[in-house]
Amino acid sequence: MIITPSKKIGKFETGIFSELASRKQKAMKAGRDVIDLSVGSPDMPPPEFVRDTLARYAKDPTAYGYTLKGIPEFHNAVCSFYQQRYGVELEPEREVLQLMGSQDGLAHLATAMIDPGDYVLVPDPGYPIYEASVKLAGGEMYPMPLTEENHFLPQLNNIPVDILDKTKMMILSYPGNPVTALADESFFTEVVSFAKRNEILVVHDFAYSELIFDDHLQISFLSIPGAREIGIEFNSLSKTFNMAGCRIGYAVGNQDALNILGTMKSHIDYGVFYPIQKAAEMALTSNLSQLSDQVKVYEARRDALISGLAKGGWHVPKTVATMFIWARIPDGWKSRDFAYQLIEKAGVTVVPGDAFGKQGEGFVRMALVQPVERLTEAAERIGAFLVSNSNKV
């Protein structure tokens, strides 16, 4: 018997992170120490009070049943967090939907919203789940180029009218991944007007909302007048509170859109583990002073890596947000060749930019998920690699 995938799954190749992991393992088996700057998984733990809360409730023998959905305390905590951090007032029962991480919600949203033939506007470069979710839903994708000359903001006026006539949804992310740019109120205001005019649901991925550097403003899309009439925003505790493995996040905003996604979730999952919900509640309602300390750690890591790369002759702009650096590679290289050679010759793992879309060619993404000492060493290794391959530059 020949086992074959569905036509939808048949469209997918092995993910880039699996390929990088395989090459990393091969290098390690050959005796090379590898510094992994690929996957954006926080290396710092959640605050101690979050871990203590999780442990306390995990000891409760009655806490192991299905939760089915978010508990009221969690929804209230999200509302408190949004009011305190972004000045956005939310109704806990109608404008908050708990998720098993923001990727879970993003993965299922297109299936809940999109029919074959419907278009979704996605950023290019963009986080891979945006494209994957549209493909799985049977929809069509229209890439919006994010380029340096346009400050990595999509040019909405350049989207063809015939595409807009078939477009049902648009995905944005600021601060972005892999492009670490920020958007201002003026751009978001333009998005609201554009979406209303073309009857498009705006989906804003805000997972890096608390990793913004150098005192730049944190702007929730929902803080823009009229935004919740046409949009929803995804957020997560994975990066903000280092709870990535707990798989808990949420979507907020337009009630009708949340109800549609919630209906789908009611058929495919049974809720987040109760102790994790209580730990998340504790995190969201804490005094949040640890968030400033965490930003300083990432700023120090960013500065160490960028200054180290500059010493080796690779000058990279200072990223303003997220746990990543998005860097144009030296001339003479393709992104994948550069990334694969770095693993093999320098023992440093980075993600080739073309894995995030056509516009990502010529870039790599580096994650700030190592201590300063290891990032400094990674920069030194990369510098030595560039010197030994200077004939390619």
- Kindly state the percentage of the chain with pLDDT values over 90: 92
- Report whether pLDDT(12) > 90: no
Residue 100 located in a structural domain: yes
Are 80 and 167 in a shared domain?
yes
Distance separating alpha carbons of residues 101 and 234, to the nearest angstrom: 9
* CA separation for the pair 21, 272 (Å, rounded): 29
Cα(221)–Cα(18) distance, rounded to whole angstroms?
33
Whether 1 is covered by a domain: the verdict is: no
Which is more confident, 64 or 19?
64
The rounded distance, in Å, linking the Cα atoms of 78 and 81 is 5
The verdict on 35 and 69 lying in the same domain is: no
Distance CA(123)–CA(120), nearest Å, equals: 10
In a domain, residue 77? The reply is yes
* Average pLDDT for 238-266: 97
Q: Do residue 41 and residue 52 come from a single domain? A: no
Question: At CA 42, angle to CA 104 and CA 15, rounded to 5?
Answer: 50
pLDDT > 70 fraction of the chain, expressed in percent and rounded: 99
Q: Are 127 and 271 contained in the same domain? A: yes
40 plus 55 within the same structural domain: no
* pLDDT in the model for residue 393: 46
Domain CATH code at residue 369:
3.90.1150.10
- Domain containing 155 equals 48-284
pLDDT in tens, 143-193: 999 999 999 999 999 999 999 999 999 999 999 999 999 999 999 999 999
| Domain boundary residue, one of 284, 301, 335 | 284
pLDDT at 135 over 90: yes
- Encode burial over 368-384: b for 16+ CB neighbours within 10 A, e otherwise: bbbebebbbbbbbbbbe
What is the pTM (predicted TM-score) of this model? 0.95
pLDDT category at 298 given cuts 50, 70, 90 is very high
Do 322 and 350 sit in the same domain of this protein?
yes
**What would the two tokens of residue 309 be?**
């790369």
Statement to judge: residues 142 and 267 lie in one domain:
yes
- pLDDT given at position 5: 87
User: Is the domain of 160 the same as that of 234?
Assistant: yes
Neighbours of 308 (CB within 10 A): 21
